[in-house]
Structure 1
Amino acid sequence: MELDHLAVAGETLDAAVAHIEEALGVEMLPGGKHDHFGTYNRLLGLGGGLYLEAIAIDPEAEKPGQARWFDLDRFSGGPRLQNWICRVTDMDAALAGLDVDAGVPVALRRGDLRWRMAVPGSGVLPFDNCFPALIQWDVAVTPAELLAPSGCSLRRLEVAHPQAASLRAAVALDDARVVFVEGESALRAAFDTPHGVRVLA
């Protein structure tokens, strides 16, 4: 399991994009639509195999027949860092090795991209959405490698949860940038940017 990207959700995509651009002081790049879940996004390359995603429900899309990923059906309030996503090389083996229900694999595509994402039937990930969503890329080149550099890089991802120790034990990730702290469920990330260290929550 490796850190792949972070997702900022908003009631609208414009709100999510503005939240990121104001926090980091850089402009996001175009993304695309996810027809399966009725969502769309914009992206920002972070270097080091990572990227940042702004995501929201696409008002022009048909309502999907299942819960949307990232718990977007229940999303309300201001835009915020909502989810973190980790890539695995064998989705079935990764899910079988977990002690929590991280969802079932859904095959997805956008343009030339192909991937599988583990999505719970409810759309809600374990530990109040503080458990990472799992992704398996089925292409040789991932979005992180395709995106132009933004001058931003992840310094630290703080995952807060009342059961931080249990969450840490459940996540099979060895990444010094990711820290787990006890507290109200929330994500907070610090980035090195062209304007110094900036925080996104």
Structure 2
Amino acid sequence: MILDHLAVAGESLADAVAHVEDALGVRMGAGGQHARYGTHNRLIGLDDGLYLEAIAIDPDATPPTYSRWFDLDRFTGAARLANWICRTSNLQAALDGIAQDAGVPVKMERGDLRWLMAVPETGILPMQGAFPAVLQWQVPIPPGERLASSGCRLAHLDVAHPEASSLAASLGLQDTRVRFVAGAFALQATFDTPHGRRVLS
């Protein structure tokens, strides 16, 4: 698995977008709708093939009869960095090798994008969301390599959780930008931007 992107959630998409733009000093680009879960997003490209997503429930979409992904049904409060997402070339094999219940593969699409996403039945990722969502792109070029760079580069992502060491061992992620920290659950990303070093949490 490798790091694919980060997700900022909000009670509304406008809240999530404003949180990103205020923190990083860059404007977010277009996104789209996810019909399966009744959500919508906007994106910005980062250096190194990563990207950042602002996501929220789409008030104009038909609500699903099942739980939404990213635990958005229960999301309240200020917009914040809520999830991190990894990708793999074989989602089922990756899930088979993970000790946690990270979900089952779900077919997803948005515009010309196609991917498989591991989504728990409850929509709640393990370890309060400290555990990453895992996906497998089914397109030749993933979004992080399509999007124009915003001039922002991820310096490091701190994933804090009381069981941070076991989380790190479970994932076996070989990425020095991702740092596992013992403590209360929190996600905090530090970026080098055109305006200097900025922190998004």
Q: Bin the TM-score by the shorter chain.
A: over 0.9
Counterpart in the other structure of 2:133: 133
Q: Which runs of 5+ in 1 are unaligned?
A: none
Aligned residues with identical type, % of pairs: 62
What SS class does the counterpart of residue 29 from structure 1 fall into? coil
The reply on whether 1:72 has 2:82 as its aligned counterpart is no
The reply on whether 1:107 has 2:104 as its aligned counterpart is no
What do you get for the CA RMSD once the two structures are aligned?
A: 0.6
Q: Describe the superposition over 1:131-169 as per-residue Cα deviations: whole angstroms up to 9, x where unpaired.
A: 000010000011111111100010000000011111111
The reply on whether 1:13 has 2:19 as its aligned counterpart is no
Name the aligned partner's letter for residue 107 of structure 1: K
Q: Which runs of 4+ in 1 moved over 2 A?
A: none
What SS class does the counterpart of residue 129 from structure 2 fall into? coil
Counterpart in the other structure of 1:169: 169
Name the aligned partner's letter for residue 66 of structure 2: Q
Counterpart in the other structure of 1:194: 194
Whole-Å separation in 1 of the counterparts to 2:145 and 2:179: 25
Counterpart in the other structure of 2:184: 184
TM-score (normalizing by structure 1) = 0.99
The reply on whether 1:159 has 2:153 as its aligned counterpart is no
Name the aligned partner's letter for residue 81 of structure 2: L
Whole-Å separation in 2 of the counterparts to 1:99 and 1:20: 32
Q: CA deviation at 1:65?
A: 2.1
Whole-Å separation in 2 of the counterparts to 1:94 and 1:77: 33
TM-score (normalizing by structure 2) = 0.99
Q: Describe the superposition over 1:21-62 as per-residue Cα deviations: whole angstroms up to 9, x where unpaired.
A: 000000000000000000000001002110000000000011
What SS class does the counterpart of residue 7 from structure 1 fall into? strand
Whole-Å separation in 2 of the counterparts to 1:13 and 1:170: 32
Q: Which runs of 5+ in 2 are unaligned?
A: none
What SS class does the counterpart of residue 140 from structure 1 fall into? coil
Whole-Å separation in 1 of the counterparts to 2:194 and 2:129: 30
Number of residue-to-residue matches in the alignment: 201
Counterpart in the other structure of 2:35: 35
